[in-house]
A and B are shown apart, each in its own frame.
Chain A
Amino acid sequence: MFRIVLTIAILATAAPAWAELPVAITYLRLEVDRPPVLSNLDPVPEDLGIAGAEIAIADTQTTGSFLGHSYSLTLASIPPGGELTTAAREALKTSRLILIDADPATILSVADLPEAQGALLFNVSSGAENLRSGDCRANLLHTIPEDAARTDALMQVLQRKQWQTTVLVTGSHPADQAFAEALRRSATKFGITIAAEKDWTFDTDLRESTMDEIPRFTEGFPDHDVILVADETDDFGRYIEHNAWLPRPVAGSDGMVPTAWAPVIESWGAVQLQNRFEDHALRPMRGLDYAAWAAIRAIGEAVTRTGSSDPATLRAFLLNPDFQMDGFKGRGLSFRAWNGQLRQPIAVVNSRALVTLAPVEGFLHQRNEMDTLGLDEPESACTAFKGAP
């Protein structure tokens, strides 16, 4: 049941004379059965997320080897439908720093384990709003951006370009519905109109008939500047652009996409990270890889500066307003004190280039411009982070 797929224990290269500080981190994953999608062009990598964690451990260990800190990463990956909480209990016996790659309900069930109290958990996979609001947990930080941060970033770009009228096509999966809801809220927030909506219910094989089906599907839309697609399983979105009735750009889950990370980010030293990642994983780095990378880099930064591996000490350090970490996105990253979300720029990209890095210039905030993206303090119902850490 509890299978350790791989264990990386990197020993400090220059073993110092003083006592080593071991820092044990576990990557806990509940595998998912992915629904079939129309195209086979972009399979989801087996090591999605994990490869990001591995590269971060290697990055962090170089600092550790100069300081006598010894990092280890253990992977516990449970097959679809398995009990992640059992694996979590086991892992928490030896590792008090856990990355969780699972659905929102499972993440909460791990965070609520008696064994998890006093541990420090990082959500690296779920953008669900409730985890940052009413269902937040004091022992749970988030390095993957919430859906709202991504959709806010997209709407800032549309507003900046004055592409203010949109239509929305939504897929049938729960993740599609959740993303569509985030798009609607962000559209309202930034003054973008969604003039019409349609649900994607087709069951034909679009690889054969996109030229015929998509124009008819989109013909009835009122005039618009952009077609939004909510297709988080990467099913039909790729077929909309250049096939719609009107020649309009596509944005959302396809076309112009807001994301934590993409291979097209090359400024701010990002090429170095992309190169290290591709040398290691033999594929481009994605958003979930970045979230896992950021979680371990945050742990490493806190261990480096505090000389401790105690979860409470590290948590207090990470939530301190002075904390700043480099994330290769041009601004220092930090954690929001009200819900434990990593404050970060969102890349708005197409398949070939970065369109821009949000926050878009001109969207101002009294505290930090990055807080124009996602749940700001007054919008979050989270109370678990109030008071003493």
Chain B
Amino acid sequence: MIRLLLLTLLATPTLADEIWVTNEKDDTISVIDTATLEVTRTIPTGERPRGITFSHDYSRVYICASDSDTVQVMDPATGEILHELPSGEDPEQFVLHPDDKHLWIANEDDAVTTVVDVDSRKVVAQINVGIEPEGMGVSPDGAIVVTTSETTNMAHWIDTRTHQIIANTLVDSRPRHAEFTASELWVSSEVGGTVTVFDVATKAEKAKIRFAIPGVNDDLIQPVGFEFTPDQSTAFVALGPANHVAVINMQTHEVETYILVGRRVWHMAFNRDHSQLFTTNGVSGDVTVIDVASRSALKSIKVGRFPWGAAFRPTE
């Protein structure tokens, strides 16, 4: 079955797209070829690379080098560091604004969110938020950025025009990741073990998603990264040391199934047609490839130590 699928993939005219994975404890990026599902390149980075995202035209890749206190800008074709951006201390995660010009960065050690202009390479604003900011989400229209703070247990809603906090909403313990849909904000809480869904218009809590896996203790179910399918019908949520990814129906907010992946699953990225999902597994040091249609794991790919972030790169 697996072999057949692989053969099918190999038979497809190869686009040679890539998934880029940051290895937190190796100071490298592993580049996975989405056709062969092999690591084709390992690229050195600054210290403790975590968040990773591409510019809209994929000509640049931004990397949070947390312990180097900088965001590195790399040419993805050559792996060369073009320059560094002033990121504030200990950048962990960021989100690129729809304007393709402003990076919104969570400075984990500093309790601030930093806004950097990627062209002028200047800090535009710093906004005081809660302790240990991490999750960063931007609304599709670019009007609102949300920072979640792990120790303050809040989602801070920031007006991107004025750089002012317009609302603070409590979430469950240790929020890690935030993503907007067209009308909702989703926030995962690692220790609380939940995903909270907010209505963006009212900023009121709309649903709370809980998880239960037979044979896995509740306190090991720790939601972290998640991704939505483009039609916003299905969400995939990484559950950390529970070693599973939950599949959620986004209309009913019900969990439909759980997929067993590697150990301490953290973040994830889709391939070009969203038929495959690549999850980073921190403790086992590998990436699990999930077949989205059948909701099953296809393959594990060995990468570096403590793979953290993942991002898709088309190569043509």
Which residues of A are in contact with B by a Cβ distance under 8 Å?
A: 13, 59, 62-63, 66-67, 269, 272, 275-276, 301, 304-305, 324-326, 330-332, 368-370
Contacts and interface: CB of A to CB of B under 8 A. Distances in A.
- Identify whether the interface residues of A are mostly helix, strand, loop, or mixed: helix
Contacts of B193: 324, 332
B220 interface: yes
B191 A326 contact: yes
> Which interface residue of A276, A324, A370 has the most chain B CB atoms within 10 A?
A324
B192 interface: yes
B229 interface: no
Contacts of A63: 130-131, 152-154
A59 B130 CA distance: 8
A272 B170 contact: no
Interface in B136-160: 149-154, 156
B150 A269 contact: yes
Contacts of B156: 66
> Which interface residue of B128, B174, B220 has the most chain A CB atoms within 10 A?
B174
B109 A66 contact: no
B174 A269 contact: yes
Given A326-B151, A326-B191, A62 B219 contact: no
Nearest to B192: A324
A331 B220 contact: yes
A301 B172 CA distance: 10
Contacts of B154: 63, 66
A298 to B, nearest CB: 12
For the complex of A and B, list the 8 residue pairs with the smallest distance between their C-beta atoms, beginning with the closest: A326-B191, A66-B168, A326-B174, A63-B152, A331-B219, A332-B191, A326-B173, A62-B131
A66 B173 contact: no
Interface residues of B, number: 27
B88 interface: no
B170 A305 contact: yes
B111 A62 contact: yes
18 contacts: A13-B128, A62-B111, A63-B131, A66-B130, A66-B152, A67-B168, A272-B132, A272-B150, A301-B153, A301-B173, A304-B170, A324-B191, A325-B191, A326-B151, A330-B241, A332-B191, A332-B192, A368-B217
A326 B153 CA distance: 10
Nearest to B282: A267
B47 to A, nearest CB: 13
Nearest to B130: A62
A330 B130 CA distance: 21
Contacts of B111: 62
Given A66-B130, A326-B151, A326-B173, 20 more contacts: A59-B152, A62-B152, A63-B153, A67-B168, A269-B132, A276-B109, A301-B173, A304-B153, A305-B170, A324-B173, A324-B191, A324-B192, A325-B173, A326-B150, A326-B174, A326-B190, A326-B191, A331-B219, A332-B192, A332-B193
Contacts of A276: 109, 131
Nearest to A330: B241
B108 interface: yes
A368 B219 contact: yes
Nearest to A279: B109
A304 B152 CA distance: 10
A69 B118 CA distance: 38
Nearest to A343: B219
A332 B174 CA distance: 10
A329 to B, nearest CB: 10
Contacts of A305: 170
A368 B220 CA distance: 11
B108 A272 contact: yes
A331 B192 CA distance: 10
> Which interface residue of B109, B172, B191 has the most chain A CB atoms within 10 A?
B191
A272 B130 contact: no
Nearest to A63: B152
Contacts of A332: 173, 191-193, 219
